[in-house]
Amino acid sequence: MSIVSIKDNSGKPKYKQIIASIEEAIVSGALKKGDKLPSLNSIKLRHKVSRDTVFTAFNELRNRGIIQSVAGKGFYVASEDIMVNQKIFLLFDELNSFKEDLYNSFLAHLGDHIQVDIFFHHFNSSIFSKLIYDNIGDYSYYVIMPANLENTDKVIDKLPDDKVYILDQTHNELSKYPAIYQNFEKDIHSGLNDALKHIQNYERIILLFDKSKQPEGILTGFKIFCKENKIAHEVVDSLESRTPKSGEIYVIPDDRNLIKIIKSIREQGLVLANEIGIISYNDTLLKEIVEGGITTISTDFNEMGKRLAEMILKNENLKIENPNRLILRRSI
């Protein structure tokens, strides 16, 4: 008795019949982990189907982690656990706390049966390329958080178009992929506008901006806001050689510098919100608590994770701007 069975007139796609046959053989115990499957050619001859048809079936099973292939040898059963049927490749820039919310929300809305593997490119384009290159063919979906890196779109192009999702920020070169992203330029502009009355209580607004890590839209939006409202402003790339002074309000996109500046403010005996202001990027639970509450301009990472999960589960091809808002707290 053959492991695969294909009916010509069943109305079902042949490759799905092959998948079902293999799954059944594994569930019934006829195929155990490590067993070799019949070769593409042998199935082609025995059942008079195209080699491609068999390959399509095997390929889907491989993407689901159920079988593995070894070039020059054959396909082998990798897992007897048919339920674990999808794996997602999730490529982040770096690990920081708001990603915790994003990741947890994504996972919660995907459901139990999908495995998500996280990788980090650390704003290094060769790591970015290597991670994608090394994992081509191994995952059902690829969720990628791009950055200001060169040539990344060429690598992404090696992945199947219908399996790629873009997260958090996007470029023109990536416009063919579904995406859920922040419109940084618009968001910081409208966020600062919503806080305009408070900002005008200060003499000068300072943006801390690391161009290798933060998206350029933040800088553009910030400058537009300042020009429109004729506010004295400055952009610095580090707090190292700077002591915060009374009359200044800082826009801080990352948490390490946020803590640094809060300490520095304390050391100098300045009064937050009175003499000096802070607006932070990316809301996390702790920012509700710190110093009586830090004002943030932030997208909703729970929502972002939820919508991303929905897009993938429903196979939607959408481009979604994730909502962003100013959360006014005592720090300004």
If one counts every other C-beta atom within 10 angstroms of the C-beta of residue 96, the result is 13
Distance CA 158, CA 315 (A): 20
Report angle CA 163, 132, 215 to the nearest 5 degrees.
Answer: 90
Distance CA 230, CA 226 (A): 6
Q: Measured between alpha carbons, how far is residue 106 from residues 41, 297, 307, 311, 319 in Å?
A: 41, 21, 8, 11, 17
Least distance in Å: CB of 101 to its own copies?
A: 10
For the chain, percent helix, then strand, then coil, each to nearest 5?
40, 20, 40
Residue with tokens 């958080």: 145
The two counts, helices (H) then strands (E), for the chain are: 12, 14
Q: How many binding residues for its own copies (CB under 8 A)? A: 47
Return the range that interacts with DNA (CB under 7 A); candidates 26-34, 42-50, 105-113, 215-223: 42-50
Least distance in Å: CB of 296 to its own copies?
A: 14
69 near DNA, rule: CB under 7 A: yes
Provide the mask over 155-174, with x wherever binding to DNA is found by CB under 7 A and - wherever it is not.
---x----------------
Q: Which of 1, 28, 48, 71 binds its own copies (CB under 8 A)?
A: 71
73 near DNA, rule: CB under 7 A: yes
59 near its own copies, rule: CB under 8 A: no
42 interface partner picked from DNA, its own copies, none, CB below 5 to 8 A per type? DNA
DSSP state of 39: P
- Identify residues 116-145 at the interface with its own copies (CB under 8 A): 117-120, 122, 126-127, 130-131, 134
- The smaller minimum CB distance to its own copies, of residues 194 and 291, is found at 291
Burial bucket for residue 84 (CB in 10 Å: 0-12, 13-18, 19+): middle
- Identify residues 89-148 at the interface with DNA (CB under 7 A): 136-137
Write out the DSSP string of 167-207. Answer: EE---GGGTTS-EEE--HHHHHHHHHHHTHHHHTTSSEEEE
> 51-63 vs 40-47: helix axis angle to the nearest 10?
130
5 near DNA, rule: CB under 7 A: no
- Identify residues 11-30 at the interface with DNA (CB under 7 A): 12-16
Q: Which of 7, 28, 29, 72 binds DNA (CB under 7 A)?
A: 72
Return the range that interacts with DNA (CB under 7 A); candidates 8-16, 77-85, 109-117, 140-148: 8-16
Return the range that interacts with DNA (CB under 7 A); candidates 10-18, 162-170, 187-195, 197-205: 10-18
DSSP state of 112: T
172 interface partner picked from DNA, its own copies, none, CB below 5 to 8 A per type? none
Q: Which of 31, 61, 75, 198 binds DNA (CB under 7 A)?
A: 75
Distance CA 13, CA 7 (A): 10
Using left for φ > 0, alpha for ψ between -120 and 50, and beta otherwise, residue 97 falls in alpha
- Contact positions toward its own copies, by CB under 8 A? 9, 11-13, 34, 65, 68-72, 76, 78-79, 81, 84-85, 95-97, 99-100, 103-104, 107, 115, 117-120, 122, 126-127, 130-131, 134, 255-256, 259, 262-263, 285-286, 288-291
User: Rule CB under 7 A: which residues touch DNA?
Assistant: 12-16, 37, 39-42, 49-53, 55-56, 58-59, 69-75, 136-137, 158
